[in-house]
Chain A
Amino acid sequence: MESLVYEYQGGVPIESPRAPVIAGVVGSGNLEILVEAEGPDDRCTIVVVTAATGFGTIWQAVMNDFVARHKPGGVRLSINDVGATPAVVSLRLEQAWEAFKGGSA
C-alpha cells in the first residue's frame, strides 16, 4: 500500500460553502473520492491511499489533468483506491467534482 500527497496552487476558489460529497466505492479496480471544502482559496490538496504501489507518476499525470481542467481551489480530495485504472480514476474525479459543484451530497 502507498500513500501519495499532491498539492496544487492557483486554483479558482469555490463560490460558496459546499457540502462534502463522496463518489465511488472501495472495491477491486475501483476507488472512493471524498471532496471537502478546506484550506486556502487557491489551494487543492489531493491525498491518495492506494493498494497498488509504484504508480506515483501515473497518479501525478491523472491529477495534473484533472486540476488543469477544473482549477479547483479551497478543496481537499481524499481517495481510497484498490487498483483502479487511470480511466476509472478520471471518471470518478469528474463524477465527484460535478456532484460537489452541484451541491448534492
Chain B
Amino acid sequence: MNHSYYEASARERMAAFLDPGSFQEFLPPTDRVSSPHLRQLDQPGAFDDGILVGSGRLSGHAILAAAQEGVFMGGAVGEVHGAKLVGLLERALITRPEAVILLLETGGVRLHEANAGLVAVSEIMHAVLAVRTAGIPVIVLDGGQFGCFGGMGIVAALCDAVVMSEEGRLGLSGPEVIEASRGVEEFDSRDRALVWRTVGGKHRYMLGEATRLVEDSIPAFREAAIALLGTRPVFGLEDLEAEHARLRERLERFGDCRESIEIWTRLGIEDPQSLPLLETQAFLAQVGGKRA
C-alpha cells in the first residue's frame, strides 16, 4: 500500500493517521449534510461537503480530528464544510481531547458560497483561539496537493504547531492569485521550482512557520503529531508582543531579499542552491540550527 500523504485522499489519510479503527465520524456521508448552495448553482455536491470530522485515538490519546478533501473544489470552505469544522472545535471545549488535529488541504473560502464561506472562516479562527485559550493544542498537518492558502492559511498560522512535508505549501494568497493581481514579473505561478522554494515546506520550515518538516508519508506525519501532543498553548499578551517583535526583527533582517535563496544565504547555509534538491533528512542535517 502506498503511504504517500500527498497522493492519499482525506479519508485514506485519516484512516492511516489515527490508531487503526479508532475513527468515529460525526455527520458521516450517510447523513448527507452537504452544501445547499452548490445545488442552486447546478453543481454536484459531496455527501460530506469535502471534509470529515470526528474523534479518534493517536498513540492511545483521545483526540479530535478533521481532514479536508482537496480534490473536491480545492478543499475550499463552504458554509456546511466550515460549520463542521467549527462544531468539531467547539466540541473540544466540552470533551477536552489531548489535541485537535487539522489535516488541512484548501485554497481558502469557497467562492461559490461567498459571504457564507467568509463567515465560516472567521468562525473557525475564533473557535481555534477559544480551544487554545482552554489549554488544548491545535496542530495542523499540511502536505496535500493543494497546499493551504487563503483564510485557512491564516487559520494554520493561528494554531500551535504546523507539520509540513516538502510537498506542502502554506501561504495567504496562492501563486496564481499573486500573479493575477501583481503581474508575472512579481511572481510566475507556472515556475514550479520558484513556487515551491517560496511557499513550500522547506522554506516555511526555514522561516519557522512550519514547526516540523517530515518526509511525504502518512506514518511520518503521524510520528510528528504524536511528538507534538505534549505541546501546551502559550498564549498571553506578552507572548503576542514577543511574536510581533520577532516578526519585526525578521522583516528588518530579510526585508530586502528578493528570493528565498538570498534568505538562506543570509542565514549562513552552505551551498543554499542545493537545498531544494535535498531529501528531507539530508536537508534537516544541512540546515541544522540555522533557521530564522
Interface segment out of the listed A4-12, A60-68, A74-82, A85-93: A74-82
Task: Tell me which residues across on chain A come within 8 A of B47, comparing CB atoms.
Answer: 22, 32, 34, 78, 80
For residue B45, CB closer than 8 A to chain A, the reply is yes
For residue A25, CB closer than 8 A to chain B, the reply is yes
As a 0/1 sequence over residues 10 to 49 of chain A, the CB contacts with chain B under 8 angstroms (1 = contact) are: 0000000000101001110010101010000000000001
Distance in Å from the Cβ of B239 to the closest Cβ of chain A? 39
Cβ–Cβ contact B30 & A26, under 8 A: no
Task: Tell me which residues across on chain B come within 8 A of A82, comparing CB atoms.
Answer: 44
Task: Tell me which residues across on chain B come within 8 A of A27, comparing CB atoms.
Answer: 71-72
Task: Tell me which residues across on chain A come within 8 A of B48, comparing CB atoms.
Answer: 22
Main secondary structure of the interface of B (DSSP, over half): loop
Task: Tell me which residues across on chain B come within 8 A of A78, comparing CB atoms.
Answer: 47
Cβ–Cβ contact B44 & A49, under 8 A: yes
User: Among residues 19 to 58 in chain B, which have CB atoms less than 8 Å away from a CB atom of chain A?
Assistant: 28-30, 42-48, 50
Cβ–Cβ contact A81 & B44, under 8 A: yes
Cβ–Cβ contact B71 & A30, under 8 A: yes
Give the interface centre of B42, B44, B71 by most chain A CB atoms within 10 Å.
Answer: B44
Distance in Å from the Cβ of A36 to the closest Cβ of chain B? 6
When C-beta atoms are compared, the residue in chain B nearest to A53 turns out to be: B42
When C-beta atoms are compared, the residue in chain A nearest to B11 turns out to be: A22
Q: What separation, in Å, do the CA atoms of A27 and B28 have in the docked complex?
A: 19
User: Among residues 114 to 168 in chain B, which have CB atoms less than 8 Å away from a CB atom of chain A?
Assistant: none
For residue A51, CB closer than 8 A to chain B, the reply is yes
Distance in Å from the Cβ of B169 to the closest Cβ of chain A? 19
When C-beta atoms are compared, the residue in chain B nearest to A78 turns out to be: B47
Q: What separation, in Å, do the CA atoms of A25 and B72 have in the docked complex?
A: 7
Give the interface centre of A20, A30, A82 by most chain B CB atoms within 10 Å.
Answer: A82
Cβ–Cβ contact B43 & A25, under 8 A: no
For residue B9, CB closer than 8 A to chain A, the reply is yes
When C-beta atoms are compared, the residue in chain B nearest to A24 turns out to be: B9
For residue B69, CB closer than 8 A to chain A, the reply is yes
Task: Tell me which residues across on chain B come within 8 A of A36, comparing CB atoms.
Answer: 30
Contact A22 to B71, CB < 8 A, known contacts A32-B47, A51-B43, A80-B46: no
Distance in Å from the Cβ of A64 to the closest Cβ of chain B? 23
Give the interface centre of A26, A34, A49, A82 by most chain B CB atoms within 10 Å.
Answer: A26
Cβ–Cβ contact B71 & A25, under 8 A: yes
Cβ–Cβ contact B30 & A20, under 8 A: yes
Cβ–Cβ contact A50 & B30, under 8 A: no
Interface residues of A (CB under 8 A from B): 1, 20, 22, 25-27, 30, 32, 34, 36, 49-51, 78, 80-82
Interface residues of B (CB under 8 A from A): 9, 11, 28-30, 42-48, 50, 69, 71-72
Instruction: Give 29 pairs: A residue, B residue, CB < 8 Å, sorted on A.
Output: A1-B42, A20-B29, A20-B30, A22-B11, A22-B29, A22-B48, A25-B69, A26-B44, A26-B45, A26-B46, A26-B50, A26-B71, A26-B72, A27-B71, A27-B72, A30-B71, A32-B29, A32-B47, A34-B29, A34-B30, A36-B30, A49-B44, A50-B44, A80-B44, A80-B45, A80-B46, A80-B47, A81-B44, A82-B44
